[in-house]
Chains A and B, each alone.
Chain A
Amino acid sequence: MQAYTQLPDLMPALPELLLAAGALFLLMLGVFGERRITPYVTALAVAVLAVAALPLLLPVEFGIVNETTFDGAFVLDGFARYLKVLTLIGSGFAIAMSVAYARNANFERFEYPVLILLATLGMLMMLSANDMITLYLGLELQSLALYVIAAFNRDSTRSTEAGLKYFVLGAVSSGMLLYGMSLVYGFTGQTGFGPIATALTHEGGASIGLVFGLVFILAGIAFKISAVPFHMWAPDVYEGAPTPVTAFFAAAPKIAAMGMLVRIVFDAFEPVTRDWQQIIVFISIASMALGAFAAIGQRNIKRLMAYSSIGHMGFALVGLAAGSQQGVEGVMIYMTAYLAMTLGAFACILSMRRKEGMVEDISDLAGLSRTNLPMAVLLAVIMFSLAGIPPFVGFFAKFYVFLAAVEAGLYPLAVIGVLTSVVGAYYYLRIIKVMFFDEPAPAFLPMPAELKFTLGLSTAFVLLFIVFAGPVVELAGAAAGTLF
């Protein structure tokens, strides 16, 4: 019998602890403060996210060391560090971008930043999960908070519908995930990722029951990253949820779920790579194709972004399907690029506001170049990048994942990827055409400062990636290397 007389090493979980303490403090502050305290809670929430990112950013000598703790249930490594920082950035900008919207749309409640903090805590847990139970608890913490904020605008039927739809489908997917986990536990006798891999190596391959479990687990996670065929919720939820919430949904949770997927297939199911690889190839192709074709007919820009994000998840999965270190590096570069482009695009969508309220049709962007040239140019840059046109970051992201697929011998996958990205380019370019060549629609109200800042920063990243690609790629490569 092993005695547990000492507290486990808490240092690797320092960002999570900071985030949890911050969220609880802000909750108290909001409950006991008056209504006017909400803006301060929002600002402090961004500060908490920044503080939580600090120990991850500092070099190992000053910050926290990479190790496994909590009896193997929690792991901090370069991979987790990199994606955690991305997630924290995504959440921070999502909170900041909600400020102007909140002021105008009766949305200003202190619970919103607190719930985002708790959801982010769940995402960090997912990225550090080294055990099925940590993974599930992290995922539930994140999902529950997301269900609530999808329905946050409770007086709007569309928002509550989005929340309910997300909740019901999310519960089904959690059930599938749990069923898969129980099967895997039944066939290996373990819940930790490392011990599962050991048990699988021992057994010399996958039994039919284990493959069943694997399929269910992958289906559950595919739901979370809205990959086809588990994508049905995404367009409705993206359209129905309040726009800042949609911006949040499109960025941080996708990164966390993708990181979790990468870790579970490489750490736990490495001995059965051939089995999961074919599943990933299938959902990757299906997502790319659906993302490309279904977005063509969309008029609502939030729905369009939903299909676009389905497609992008498909592209990122191409890297994972390669099943190599290079592929994981590609996935990480892709998620970095995706974060920058998504934040920029949503900064523009959030500033589509006229006197009578928010508008979200693509036709409302008509002639933007004549009413607001800077915004039109920056949005055009982001759209070019989303379409994957060089020299913007979207091109390099696609380049790295396709390169990994080709080197792994998955030629058909790479060819299909390139073809669907050509089809997808059509609807991104259509937005640019609408902005520059159509008769102007009424002008939007001036952009709030925080949206300008977000848009500027993300466009700068999109534009200048070609200059500092080296360090980013090197960082992603080093982070991916810690997984192998």
Chain B
Amino acid sequence: MVLQAVFFYLFAAIAVASAFMVIAARNPVHSVLFLILAFFNAAGLFILIGAEFLAMLLVVVYVGAVMVLFLFVVMMLDVDFVELRQGFLQYLPVGALVGIVLLVELLLGLGAWVISPDLAGTLPAPAPAAADVSNIRALGELIYTRYILFFQMAGLVLLVAMIGSIVLTLRHKPGVKRQNIATQVGRTREAAVEVRKVETGKGI
């Protein structure tokens, strides 16, 4: 238990500190790297609460794919981030005020939050019970059975997004040389190679 608490505070402290560094770092590449650190620590927090699948997903998807993409964008786009941040100090008081108001509202809201006694029994229980099976199995059993409709519909939404981005951006340029595997494979030795005698001191 003590060990768990120690790790929780470790992960949480590093996550908050690196999140702060994301907005404080001068170099945008450093910001992205700090963001990766924040994600890793969030994954650690997930593991602490027993959601190991989510933790792995966070590392694979966010760190592996999204952040690498971010890094590419940051490196490839010539954006002067120092200039973008010119008014930062100027807006700080207003931003801080908004942040504090939000924080107070959240605290008040969460402090007053109670579950209505009538509803206590109506909440759906996790099925199957979380302790019995591993994360992946529990997710799979629900996604492919009870939530099959939602899962397939989400797939269709992604398909539409893909079709849409292709329709709106792809242009077929004439005269582009494309790989044609059938022709490549269909080439014979006779058509491709020619043996010539080359006399010394002369070209072909």
Residues of A at the B interface (CB closer than 8 Å) are 1-2, 4, 7-8, 13, 20, 27, 70-71, 73-74, 109, 111, 114-115, 118, 121, 125, 133-134, 137-138, 140-141, 144-145, 147-148, 151-152, 154, 163, 188-190, 195, 198-199, 202-203
Q: Which single member of A70, A111, A154, A190 contacts B163 (CB below 8 Å)?
A: A111
Docked CA distance A120–B153 (Å) = 13
The answer to whether B141 touches A115 (Cβ under 8 A) is no
Most chain B CB within a 10 A radius of its CB, from A109, A145, A154: A145
The answer to whether B164 touches A144 (Cβ under 8 A) is yes
Interface residue? B6 (CB, 8 A): no
A144-B160 contact, Cβ under 8 Å, with A4-B145, A71-B146, A134-B149 = yes
Count of chain B residues near A, Cβ 8 A: 28
Docked CA distance A336–B82 (Å) = 58
In the complex, what's the smallest C-beta–C-beta distance from B176 to chain A, in angstroms?
A: 16
Docked CA distance A202–B121 (Å) = 12
In the complex, what's the smallest C-beta–C-beta distance from B43 to chain A, in angstroms?
A: 24
The answer to whether B164 touches A148 (Cβ under 8 A) is yes
Most chain A CB within a 10 A radius of its CB, from B115, B122, B141: B122
Q: Which single member of A4, A125, A138, A203 contacts B119 (CB below 8 Å)?
A: A203
A1-B157 contact, Cβ under 8 Å, with A73-B150, A111-B167, A144-B164 = no
Docked CA distance A450–B149 (Å) = 36
A-B contact pairs, 23 of them (CB 8 A): A1-B127, A4-B141, A8-B149, A13-B149, A109-B167, A111-B167, A118-B156, A118-B159, A118-B160, A121-B156, A137-B157, A141-B157, A144-B161, A145-B160, A145-B164, A151-B168, A154-B168, A188-B119, A189-B119, A189-B123, A199-B119, A199-B122, A203-B116
Interface residue? B61 (CB, 8 A): no
A20-B156 contact, Cβ under 8 Å, with A1-B129, A114-B163, A148-B164 = yes
The answer to whether B122 touches A190 (Cβ under 8 A) is yes
Residues of B at the A interface (CB closer than 8 Å) are 115-116, 118-119, 122-124, 127-129, 141, 145-146, 148-150, 153-154, 156-157, 159-161, 163-164, 166-168
Q: Which residues of A contact B141 (CB under 8 A)?
A: 4
Q: Which residues of A contact B129 (CB under 8 A)?
A: 1
Q: Which residues of A contact B115 (CB under 8 A)?
A: 189
The answer to whether B153 touches A141 (Cβ under 8 A) is yes
Docked CA distance A217–B163 (Å) = 29
Q: Which residues of A contact B166 (CB under 8 A)?
A: 111
In the complex, what's the smallest C-beta–C-beta distance from B153 to chain A, in angstroms?
A: 4
The answer to whether A202 touches B160 (Cβ under 8 A) is no
Docked CA distance A195–B153 (Å) = 22
Q: Which residues of A contact B153 (CB under 8 A)?
A: 125, 134, 137-138, 141
